[in-house]
Structure 1
Amino acid sequence: MDDDLWALIAPLLPPWPERSPGPRPVPARLCLQGILFVLHNDIAWQLLPLELGFGSGQTC
């Protein structure tokens, strides 16, 4: 995802709460890239490769 598209989408996303339990999630930009990867490649969520750094299919 290029920086121009991210500049349009980022303000629409809510900030992560400071006092939320558990580990911090994958950054929003990487998560969105993972979602786009799954949709573009027409693969199952469980097949999202962890090596790409987008998090797991359950994370996205």
Structure 2
Amino acid sequence: MGIRPLIARLGTGHGSGPGKNRWVVEAAFALLRWFCRLRIRREIRADTHQAFLTLGCAIICWRRLRKQC
């Protein structure tokens, strides 16, 4: 398919593409791991897990907005 693995040197840009803003997603996952109930899914029902996930995202957003004000 013409895809070559290429590791960028330290301190150089990686260009553009789908991995350009990957750190945003990784940081969000790391912040959600602060909540113990979201580390390991213990709930049987998916809607309960979704509720805790939404609550965790809301708390993260609230903390970020509180720091800016």
Give TM class, smaller chain.
Answer: 0.3 to 0.5
Q: Which has the higher contact order (CA 8 A, sep 6+)?
A: 1
TM-score with structure 2 length normalisation?
A: 0.30
TM-score with structure 1 length normalisation?
A: 0.34
More helix by share: 2
In our comparison, the structure showing a higher alpha carbon Rg is: 2
